[in-house]
Amino acid sequence: MKETKIGLKVEAKVRTTPEINKLFLPGELGAVLDWQVRDSKSGEIVREGIKKAESFTRQFFDLLLVKFLNIPALSPISIRDTGGNYQEICNGTVIFATDALAGDSNFGIVVGTGAVAPTISDYVLGALIAHGAGAGQLQYSIGTWGAPASDATTSQFTITRNFANASGGGITVNEIGLYVKAPTGAPWLASSGSNTIRYFMTIRDVIAGGILVGNGQTLTINYRPQTVI
Amino acid sequence: MIRTLLTVKHFSHEGQLLHKHQDWSKSFLKHFIEGLYLSHAQIAGATPYIATDGDVPGSLTRLVDGYQSPSAGAPYIYPKVNLRVVGPGGGGGLYAPNGGEGAGAPGFPAVLQGTFLPGYNIGIVVGRNNTAVTPTDKALVDRVAHGRNGSVAVAASIDSVLVGDTTDSSYAVNNALIGFIYIPKRSFTLTRADFKVFRSGNPGNVTANVACIGGLTASAAAVDTAPIGTSDVVDANLWGNVSPGAWVTFTFSTPVKLKAGFAYFIYIFPCQVSAGNRVNVRTIAVTPAVGRQIYGTAAASGGAISTGNFQWLYDLWGTAGAEMEHGATDIYGYSVVNPNASFIMRRIFMNNSGEAITVQEAGIYIPLAHYITGLGGFDFNAFVFCAARDIFAGIAVANGESLEVDYTPSITV
């Protein structure tokens, strides 16, 4: 009898953006999340991934309503911040701001190690990874943006942030989120310090299996809010 | 993900539900994404974003921003009206405040400095055309305007100032323009413009032009004189040369859509070809003095512009569609029950035009802000863009009947 040989060919293929876009229903407002882990010395991509972002949280709708309704200072609405406290929010120019500077893990794209599935009521990451070079820490870069663009069906812009691992050991990122600003207090007193900036989580995603960021490697994350017609 | 349900209900004169269309909205557009971008990236007024895909009134490229930096001279910052959807019904004004104010506490005169947008130009809108949606749609293709007027199928006089002229106006600068700010009271398609004019010398060939105010150039005299429509050429050498002149017709073989509540600039070019060879226009000296007549030194955008306190005589002809009265756009019914959240945006439209109107498109108009120093008191703080557009099978709304249009965005985790 002739020997039968059975072989298994494993092929790992990264999904391209058009494939991800097929997951969007016509008229859907969502986001694409993609990431790359690079060796900090060589720049070589050691791993990457892309997925449709899972979850706008209720805070996104809360803040969108503040803009849609132009909520006045005399009748603010209560929104839960990343500290778990309800803040009185009215319309202001810094609502939805993600312009975090390097080292600021209070807002912008943030990462964590929590792995519990997202819910609409989530207001904070399960376990935020702090900024720094110590054990279990990542170095948060400044946030940057890609201007809006469109093709025949899709309109999107991009928010980007880098996280460098100088901790001495590997760190597995299980969750990615977006924290944004909103002010409490009178919105017209922006420069006087009479209002206070609070932070609110608008998106949270859990990555199945996590993203391993080795010591000396840098994780780049892109959130791309988009609409599809 | 967020999906939005579009519901259009058709009611009889007695309030009986005649028909209900309900489907997932297909169409939040690029301008909605731009509104989110301005906030997320904190695009400042000093370095605005260029919205190239066009605004509602003239499909113009506009500078827009989401943040005003406080300064020592202007520490008080008002919130921008970006992404506002709710608004008053009809012509009720929506105030779009200026970004920053002076060192003193916000005072009444300072607060008034800004743009008032008519309520009917913000929020949910409906139209007659079912051309396929694209992400860069600039407006509803054939919007049903606010009001109670019936259609004008054959070109007729839509808006005019025919008498009361007191003064000859002219501008003695070569290759310059002379015109006036015009805010239509009803939407119509301009096919003809008559002005009372006479010549000095031989001005030669001239045209009438329509431009939008507050264009790309954020200059101190921010009139975007690049026209959105130009008339056929008229030989001004054939005009009379004695005041008070006579009515002359400028025909727009390519008609121009003028949309109610938006500011346009109608002008004659050139107003002078060489010394002594110019156009003269009959006008009314205006009291109190509010700059209405505009004259400038260049036909291209950004030319130096001045104002004068004169109201032109004019007779604007065109065609127009039947109108529906717009109620307020409101938001209610916010509900959060894990894993879902939703709210409802609603507007009611009443057809009292005297004729049936077939509606087959709906959308949402939003303001996006940027401060432009205006002319004669016409400061601009916000421009209007199409954030969403949907098409559906036509609904024939008879006179006396109404539509209720709901957009219901919902999150599902």
Of B364, B357, B351, the C-alpha closest to B395 is B357
> What gap in Å lies between CA B167 and CA B173, rounded to an integer?
19
Lowest mean pLDDT, pick from B139-148, B292-301, B365-374:
B292-301
- Structure-block tokens of residue B315: 């007779």
Express each pLDDT in B284-342 by its tens digit: 987 765 557 777 655 444 456 677 788 899 999 999 999 999 999 999 999 999 889 99
Express each pLDDT in A177-198 by its tens digit: 999 999 886 655 544 445 688 9
Question: With 0-12 CB in 10 A as exposed, 13-18 as middle and 19+ as buried, what is B63?
Answer: buried
Residues B242-264 as b/e (b if ≥16 CB within 10 A, e otherwise) read eeebeebebbbeebbbbbbbbbb
Looking at residue B54, what is its pLDDT? 82
Of B270, B217, B280, B292, the C-alpha closest to B248 is B280
- The number of C-alpha atoms within 13 Å of B159 and in the hemisphere containing its C-beta is 15
Concatenating the DSSP letter of every residue in A95-159 gives: TT---PPTT--SSEEEEE---SPP-TT--S-SSBPPBSSSTT-BEE---EEEEEEE-SSEEEEEE
- Please count the residue pairs, one from chain A and one from chain B, whose beta carbons lie less than 8 angstroms apart: 183
Identify all chain B residues contacting A121, using CB atoms and an 8 Å cutoff: 336, 338
Helices and strands per DSSP (H, E), number in chain A: 2, 11
Query: Which of A61-70, A147-156, B106-115 has the largest mean confidence?
Result: A61-70
> Which position has the higher pLDDT, B378 or B133?
B133
Mean pLDDT of A21-37: 87
Looking at residue B300, what is its pLDDT? 45
Express each pLDDT in A202-211 by its tens digit: 999 999 999 9
Contact A191 B70 (CB under 8 A): yes
Q: Which residue's structure tokens are 């009898």?
A: A1
Three-state DSSP state, B109: helix
Looking at residue B220, what is its pLDDT? 37
**Per-residue pLDDT for B73 more than 50?**
yes
The torsion defined by the Cα of A191, A194, A195 and A197, in degrees rounded to 10, comes to 70
Looking at residue A9, what is its pLDDT? 39
Of B2, B10, B6, B8, the C-alpha closest to B23 is B6
Which of A69, A118, A191 has the CB atom closest to B331's CB atom? A69
Determine what percent of chain B is predicted with pLDDT higher than 70: 84
Backbone angles phi, psi at B14, to 5 degrees: -90, 0
The complex scores an ipTM of 0.88
Nearest CA distance, A40 vs chain B (angstrom): 27
- Please enumerate in sequence order all residues whose Cβ is within 8 A of that of B119, keeping only pairs 6 or more positions apart, or say none: B87, B88, B89, B90, B91, B92, B93, B94, B326, B328, B329
**Per-residue pLDDT for A12 more than 90?**
no
Three-state DSSP state, B40: helix
Express each pLDDT in B195-228 by its tens digit: 999 999 999 999 999 987 764 443 434 455 578 8
Express each pLDDT in A39-93 by its tens digit: 988 889 999 999 998 879 999 999 999 999 988 878 889 999 999 999 999 888 8
> Which position has the higher pLDDT, B213 or A124?
A124
Looking at residue B217, what is its pLDDT? 41
Q: Which helix (H) or strand (E) holds B235?
A: strand B234-235
Looking at residue B369, what is its pLDDT? 86
Secondary structure letter of residue B79 according to DSSP: P
> What gap in Å lies between CA B131 and CA A195, rounded to an integer?
47
- The number of C-alpha atoms within 13 Å of B154 and in the hemisphere containing its C-beta is 0
Three-state DSSP state, A64: helix
What residue of A is the nearest CA neighbor of B86?
A: A69
Lowest mean pLDDT, pick from A130-139, A219-228, B103-112, B357-366:
B103-112
Looking at residue B374, what is its pLDDT? 57
Looking at residue A197, what is its pLDDT? 87
Looking at residue B288, what is its pLDDT? 63
What residue of A is the nearest CA neighbor of B95?
A: A70
Determine what percent of chain B is predicted with pLDDT higher than 90: 61
> What gap in Å lies between CA A200 and CA A78, rounded to an integer?
12
Looking at residue A11, what is its pLDDT? 34
Which of A25, A191, A227 has the CB atom closest to B32's CB atom? A227
> What gap in Å lies between CA B98 and CA B106, rounded to an integer?
11
Express each pLDDT in B148-181 by its tens digit: 999 999 999 999 999 999 999 998 888 888 988 8
- Please enumerate in sequence order all residues whose Cβ is within 8 A of that of B4, keeping only pairs 6 or more positions apart, or say none: A27, A29, B24, B25, B28, B388, B407, B408, B409, B410
- The number of C-alpha atoms within 13 Å of A44 and in the hemisphere containing its C-beta is 4
- The number of C-alpha atoms within 13 Å of B357 and in the hemisphere containing its C-beta is 34
Q: Which residue's structure tokens are 């209610």?
A: B332
Which of A55, A147, A187 has the CB atom closest to B37's CB atom? A147
> What gap in Å lies between CA B159 and CA B262, rounded to an integer?
15
Q: What is the mean pLDDT of chain B?
A: 86
**Per-residue pLDDT for A15 more than 80?**
no
Using alpha carbons, list the distances in angstroms from residue B334 to A222, A227, B13, B405: 30, 22, 30, 17
> What gap in Å lies between CA B399 and CA B124, rounded to an integer?
21
Of A108, A109, A126, the C-alpha closest to A117 is A126
